[in-house]
């Protein structure tokens, strides 16, 4: 299943990112993740969320809120001579209905935000995140909402 494989990669990245911001006395819990997906990524948001919820159980991202935003597809229509945006599931030009639009991208997926909050009363060595997450030390705050 496409979504399950993607949810698993997503979880790994999110836990890794959160881990970078942890220090000896600080354990972080992931509370929110914002994801932007291209129109052609074929990811079904509801399925993805369900898979992610299951996989995140027992990790620092358990009960986090995953928000998935689909980015509309854009491309260049040679007939109209301008940039157009795809409407709905149609791949013809929304202005002239021509079928020769050169669509750009659409397969990209981007994590736009990860929200973390410290675990209350956490102590070092209490890690319960899955084995594959490195607990790397790094500068705090970079790219993460407080």
Q: Enumerate binding residues for Zn ion (CB under 5 A).
A: 77, 79-80, 93, 95-96, 98
Q: Minimum CB separation from Zn ion for residue 74, in Å?
A: 13
Which residues lie below 8 Å from residue 78, measured CB to CB, with a gap of 6+? Answer: 100, 101, 102
Helical spans, DSSP H, in the chain: 2-20, 45-56
User: Cβ atoms within 10 A of the Cβ of 51, count?
Assistant: 22
Q: Which is nearer to Zn ion, 5 or 96 (CB)?
A: 96
Q: Minimum CB separation from Zn ion for residue 70, in Å?
A: 22
Q: Which is nearer to Zn ion, 1 or 102 (CB)?
A: 102
DSSP state of 120: T
Residue 107 tokens read as: 């397969």
CA distances from 123 to 16, 52, 130 (A): 19, 27, 17
Query: β-strands 74-77, 82-85: how paired?
Result: antiparallel
Q: Minimum CB separation from Zn ion for residue 75, in Å?
A: 10
Q: Minimum CB separation from Zn ion for residue 40, in Å?
A: 19
Q: Which is nearer to Zn ion, 32 or 98 (CB)?
A: 98
Output the residue with the shortest Cβ distance to Zn ion: 93
Q: Which is nearer to Zn ion, 100 or 112 (CB)?
A: 100
Query: β-strands 65-71, 28-38: how paired?
Result: parallel
Q: Which is nearer to Zn ion, 95 or 127 (CB)?
A: 95
Q: Minimum CB separation from Zn ion for residue 100, in Å?
A: 8
């Amino acid at each position: 299943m496409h979504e399950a494989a993607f949810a698993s990669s997503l979880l790994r990245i999110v836990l890794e990112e959160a881990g970078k911001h942890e220090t000896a006395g600080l354990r972080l819990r992931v509370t929110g993740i914002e994801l932007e997906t291209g129109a052609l990524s074929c990811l079904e948001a509801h399925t993805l969320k369900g898979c992610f919820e299951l996989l995140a159980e027992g990790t620092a991202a358990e009960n986090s809120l995953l928000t998935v935003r689909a980015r509309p597809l854009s491309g260049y229509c040679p007939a109209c001579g301008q940039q157009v945006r795809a409407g709905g599931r149609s791949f013809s030009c929304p202005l002239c209905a021509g079928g020769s639009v050169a669509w750009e991208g659409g397969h990209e997926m981007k994590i736009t935000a990860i929200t973390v909050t410290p675990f209350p009363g956490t102590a070092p060595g209490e890690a319960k995140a899955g084995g594959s997450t490195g607990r790397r030390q790094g500068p705090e705050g970079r790219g993460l909402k407080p």
